Chains A and B, each alone.
Chain A
């Protein structure tokens, strides 16, 4: 067993222990909060995959979440309740009832499939034009969800989902996401993606198929976003089109930028910091009705980071004690 494996295994076990402790010690509220933090870790890590590794600045992440969330919800929704909530569903969907894991995977797959189609079109764009196009995609998805009432109940949203998401599910998916990101980052494929980010022309000269690399980065990121959407839906037990807003896209971008674009550790740290800050401010906002303070602070921190430390906390590296042999570049 190499030193790197030992460290990763140690971290995974530490996470497992932490999850067990949280499960035992926390009350329902804190457990839900911990689940949110975990879901944000998945989101930040998966956006980091798209944005950090391959340099695709996407604001469409919540759209993939929404797709994953709604697909998973339709698959796990209690068949006895379906005619009541969604009387216009097609017959095959009406009777379909899947366990949580296949539903989550289907949600992720649906998001990945959408990413393939959308990516094939918009990945010809670069930089902030890509960001704007993905933002357009996000708004289109929101409008479609709002209007596809037979499947989504429109603006009312789907509620009454089974509360299937718990700490163990979240932990398992955090583990899978981070492991996948880690393995890919330090594989020859991951280096290829990063070469695309650093210098497209040079990467192309070395024989990289730019389009395939970029598409893969978008699709893999979308898959995990879709899964996170499914976890989210079954944690909140409700899905509405407004949940998947540009503000959410912004929050995830902030987590990635603050942590350091391209750093998996950075994405995790960014996600933990920001979901905790938002959550800490929520009671304050409600008690003193000073709504918006959390967001203002978040935006302020972002701007300060962009001015004084644009590479984020970790840059695009991992801390030395975790991956010493890979930071020689």
Chain B
């Protein structure tokens, strides 16, 4: 095995990791603020991918208009889902919200099948995005460069919101203690809705990237990335934004290296490896690498 091959694999891992990190951050934020494991989060990735396709191919808009549009669509979906499904059952036991989110996920997937059929569709990215350009002696597609740059930028933007704005203060206060935050005059409903909107916006952006990278989308495509983003969040420590970013990159690298460095017969065991890793981490250190020490396991 030569160095170039390894470097290529690491690069692929970083690309995949960027997308996992984007989805995992939203997952973690929502968990952090209302202790909800939101399974529908992955399906926003699917919605993001399909709205990209609609805006690009059907309306023929240029990519620089489409990208913010898709982010907005993601945010809107987050708002709607929170309002319709999760706000009515706030305060119910954690497991209730978890089951409800599975319900929402199944509903979104089947609404997708109903409206655009289960048929996979080719994703039409403009040609200049798919060209390979040489960077430091590697051939990298423009779309992959964009993913590697855009994902950290979006996450930085999020960190700015969380740490430098009034909304961010409200979010962190609510995550710390919802009741006390309310007593301190924080508008809980607005803060939680904003968290869903922000997290889902990133998931929408991830959908655009996912479609661009893999070239094919279908209504069920969000499910597995959603689950894996959750694994990423667990690796980093659910509830911690830096943890989710770290977890996303660790998982992306681990997955790509698992496939790339082991003999090809093992590559079909990739998902078993990922979820085995999940169980292992839950057993060894349920709080993840950067997670806070909480009682949420109980």
Compute how far the CA of A57 lies from the CA of B104 in the bound complex, rounded to whole angstroms: 18
B95 contacts A303, CB within 8 Å? no
Query: Which listed residue, A57, A125, A254, touches B282 by the CB 8 Å rule?
Result: A125
Contacts of B85 on A, CB cut-off 8 Å?
A: 303
Compute how far the CA of A260 lies from the CA of B297 in the bound complex, rounded to whole angstroms: 24
A299 contacts B107, CB within 8 Å? yes
Contacts of B275 on A, CB cut-off 8 Å?
A: 135-137, 139-140
Compute how far the CA of A147 lies from the CA of B264 in the bound complex, rounded to whole angstroms: 13
B95 contacts A128, CB within 8 Å? yes
Q: How far is the CB of B23 from chain A (nearest CB, A)?
A: 16
Which positions 236-275 of chain B face chain A at CB distance < 8 Å? 268-269, 271-272, 275
Compute how far the CA of A254 lies from the CA of B99 in the bound complex, rounded to whole angstroms: 8
Q: How far is the CB of A253 from chain B (nearest CB, A)?
A: 6
B104 contacts A127, CB within 8 Å? no
How many residues of B are in contact with the other chain, CB < 8 A?
43
A295 contacts B278, CB within 8 Å? no
Give A262-300 as 1s and 0s: 1 = Cβ < 8 Å from B's Cβ atoms.
Answer: 000000000000000000000000000011110110111
Contacts of A303 on B, CB cut-off 8 Å?
A: 85, 100, 103-104, 107
Compute how far the CA of A136 lies from the CA of B117 in the bound complex, rounded to whole angstroms: 28
Contacts of B271 on A, CB cut-off 8 Å?
A: 139-140, 143
B95 contacts A57, CB within 8 Å? yes
A147 contacts B114, CB within 8 Å? no
Which positions 135-153 of chain B face chain A at CB distance < 8 Å? none
A126-B298, A306-B89 given; A299·B276 CB < 8 A? no
- The closest CB in chain B to the CB of A125 belongs to B282
A129 contacts B106, CB within 8 Å? no
B279 contacts A128, CB within 8 Å? no
- The closest CB in chain A to the CB of B35 belongs to A128
Query: Which listed residue, A57, A131, A257, A292, touches B111 by the CB 8 Å rule?
Result: A292
Leading 5 A-B pairs by shortest Cβ distance: A292-B110, A136-B275, A143-B272, A299-B107, A292-B113
B residues neighboring A (CB under 8 Å): 37, 85, 88-89, 92, 94-96, 98-100, 102-104, 106-107, 109-114, 117-118, 223, 227, 230-231, 234, 268-269, 271-272, 275-276, 278-279, 282-283, 286, 296-298
Given contacts A291-B113, A310-B89, 4 further A-B contacts (CB under 8 A): A125-B282, A129-B296, A257-B99, A293-B114
List 24 interface pairs A-B (beta carbons < 8 Å), by A numbering. Answer: A122-B283, A128-B95, A131-B95, A135-B227, A137-B275, A140-B271, A140-B272, A143-B272, A144-B272, A250-B102, A250-B106, A254-B103, A291-B110, A292-B112, A295-B106, A296-B106, A299-B103, A299-B110, A300-B103, A302-B103, A303-B85, A303-B104, A306-B99, A307-B88
